[in-house]
């Protein structure tokens, strides 16, 4: 199998390298011919135009890592040329555009996968398996923090830029869409563009999720905290590999003096040490070869897009 990576920007370079390491890189494409030529020379593959890549019979799939405004259009072109597609998040600019694209996917026989990277992180995979196995009981609370003093955008707010991966993880754990979405945000730099957002999701099961996103934080935090009836799990992606996933069991007992909560000793869990991007692209390749539905396929993309849009509509009202 051979794929063309479309987009040789900062993240596209990671995709190019990963595809080369997995032995599936067949070509590179970029609007800047010089950028494409540099990667072509580095990995001994041709630099093609998008049209050339779509018409090249030996290329089975395309990986789209272009600006978000172009994602849906390039995906439609790839489908029209019979290519399987991996597209970085977001799938589209809004839910309506995503639904139109989803209809095209369902009419085709192509594999389409969206890059929700953290679903393939060894720490999240281990966390999700513990939750699915009922080891910490029914879920009560999930908090997701994605904070840093980082790149400030002027067209896309902090929640849309930073939190799609967290939304994807939370929906996977909940196994359902939220029946309530609340949000508040503040725009400090560019009018109408939220720099700091707090979003709450409520689920019919009683699970509550809280997401925080900011690119104006003085410290970096990338943490998912999952609290169940009998224990909690913490996926902290800022910590070193041996400390990325922590578990602490707990219990609440009722006494004459009132309820008392007590916890066991926190312990770090062993994890496979492998980049999540490698696992993600390997999964895409396997789905293409076996003609199976990706874990983060078109239906997953629509679920995430739906939550993002509900939160976005509230954030826009709060800053206008």
Tell me, yes or no, whether 17 and 158 share the same domain: no
Mean pLDDT of 192-213: 96
Same domain, 18 and 99: yes
**Which stretch of 126-135, 198-207, 252-261 has the lowest confidence by average pLDDT?**
252-261
Q: What is the total count of domains within the chain? A: 2
* 256 assigned to some structural domain: yes
User: Are 46 and 190 part of one and the same domain?
Assistant: no
Residue 197 lies in a domain: yes
Three-state SS annotation for the chain: CCEEEECCCHHHHHHHHHHHHCCCEEEEECCCHHHHHHHHHHHCCCECCHHHHHHCCCCCEEEECCCHHHHHHHHHHHHHCCCEEEEECCCCCCHHHHHHHHHHHHHCCCCEEEECHHHHCHHHHHHHHHHHCCCCCCEEEEEEEEEEECCCCCCCCHHHHHCHHHHHHHHHHHCCCCCEEEEEEECCCCCCCCCEEEEEEECCCCCEEEEEEECEEEEEEEEEEEEECCEEEEEECCCCHHHCEEEEEEEEEEECCEEEEEECCCEECCCCCCCHHHHHHHHHHHHHHHCCCCCCCHHHHHHHHHHHHHHHHHHHHHCC
Range of the domain at 14: 3-110
- Banded model confidence at residue 320, pLDDT cuts 50, 70, 90: low
Examine the domain organization and report whether 256 and 125 are in the same domain.
yes
Q: Residue 251 — pLDDT band, cuts 50, 70, 90?
A: confident
Taking only the tens place, the pLDDT of each residue in 119-131 is: 999 999 999 999 9
User: Is residue 13 situated within a structural domain?
Assistant: yes
Do 128 and 82 share a structural domain?
A: no
Q: How confident is the model at residue 259 (pLDDT cuts 50, 70, 90)?
A: confident
Specify if 295 maps to a domain: no
Inter-CA distances, 34 with 41, 49, 50, 215, 220, Å = 11, 12, 15, 31, 34
Any domain includes 282: no
Mean residue pLDDT across the chain: 94
Whether residues 84 and 144 share a domain: the answer is: no
Q: Same domain for 62 and 26?
A: yes
The CA distance from 183 to 310, in Å, is: 9
Q: What percentage of the chain reaches a pLDDT higher than 90?
A: 86
Q: Is residue 285 part of a domain?
A: no
In this prediction, residue 190 carries a pLDDT of: 93
Based on the fold, state whether residues 131 and 214 are members of the same structural domain: yes
| Other CB atoms within 10 A of residue 251 CB | 12
Residues 164 and 243 in one domain: yes
- Residues 60 and 127 reside in one and the same domain: no
* 110, 134, 151 - which closes a domain: 110
Q: Name the percent of the chain lying above pLDDT 70.
A: 99
Q: Token pair of 166, please? A: 């967290």
| CA-to-CA dists, residue 263 to 242, 248, 259, angstroms | 22, 7, 13
Task: Indicate if the pLDDT at residue 252 is higher than 80.
Answer: no
Q: What mean pLDDT do residues 30-39 have?
A: 96
End-of-domain residue from the set 86, 110, 134: 110
Residues 268 and 175 in one domain: yes
CA dist 124 and 279 (Å) reads 12
- Model pLDDT, residue 187: 94
Kindly state whether residues 186 and 257 are assigned to the same domain: yes
Task: Examine the pLDDT at 75 and tell me if it is beyond 80.
Answer: yes
CATH code for position 9: 3.40.50.720
CATH number at residue 140: 3.30.360.10
- The model's pLDDT over 51-70, given as tens digits with 9 standing for 90+, comes to 999 999 999 999 999 988 89
């Amino acid at each position: 199998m051979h794929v063309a990576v479309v987009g040789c920007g900062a993240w596209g370079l990671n995709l190019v390298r990963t595809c080369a390491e997995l032995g599936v890189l067949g070509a590179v494409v970029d609007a800047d011919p010089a950028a494409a030529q540099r990667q072509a020379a580095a990995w001994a593959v041709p630099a093609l135009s998008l049209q050339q890549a779509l018409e090249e019979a030996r290329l089975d799939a395309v990986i789209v890592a272009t600006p978000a405004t172009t994602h849906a259009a390039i995906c439609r072109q790839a489908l029209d040329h019979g290519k399987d597609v991996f597209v970085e998040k977001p799938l589209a600019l809004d839910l309506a555009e995503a639904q139109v694209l989803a209809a095209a996917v369902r009419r085709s026989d192509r594999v389409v996968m969206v890059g929700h990277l953290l679903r393939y992180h060894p720490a999240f995979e281990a966390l999700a398996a513990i939750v699915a196995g009922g080891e910490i009981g029914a879920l009560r609370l999930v908090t997701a923090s994605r904070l840093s003093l980082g790149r400030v955008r002027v067209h896309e707010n902090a929640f849309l830029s930073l939190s799609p991966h967290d939304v994807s993880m939370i929906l996977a754990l909940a196994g359902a869409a939220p029946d309530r979405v609340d949000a508040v945000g503040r725009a400090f730099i560019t009018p109408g563009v939220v720099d700091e957002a707090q979003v709450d999701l409520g689920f019919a099961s009683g699970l509550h999720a809280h997401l925080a996103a900011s690119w104006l934080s003085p410290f970096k935090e990338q943490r998912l905290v999952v609290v169940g009836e009998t224990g909690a799990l913490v996926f902290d992606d800022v910590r070193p590999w041996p400390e990325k996933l922590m578990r602490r069991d707990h219990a609440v007992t009722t006494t004459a003096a009132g309820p008392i909560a007590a916890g066991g000793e926190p312990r770090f869990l062993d994890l496979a040490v492998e980049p999540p991007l490698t696992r993600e692209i390997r999964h895409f390749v396997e789905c293409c070869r076996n003609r199976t539905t990706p874990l983060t396929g078109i239906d997953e993309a629509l679920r995430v897009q739906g939550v993002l849009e509900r939160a976005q509509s509230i954030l826009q009202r709060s800053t206008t």
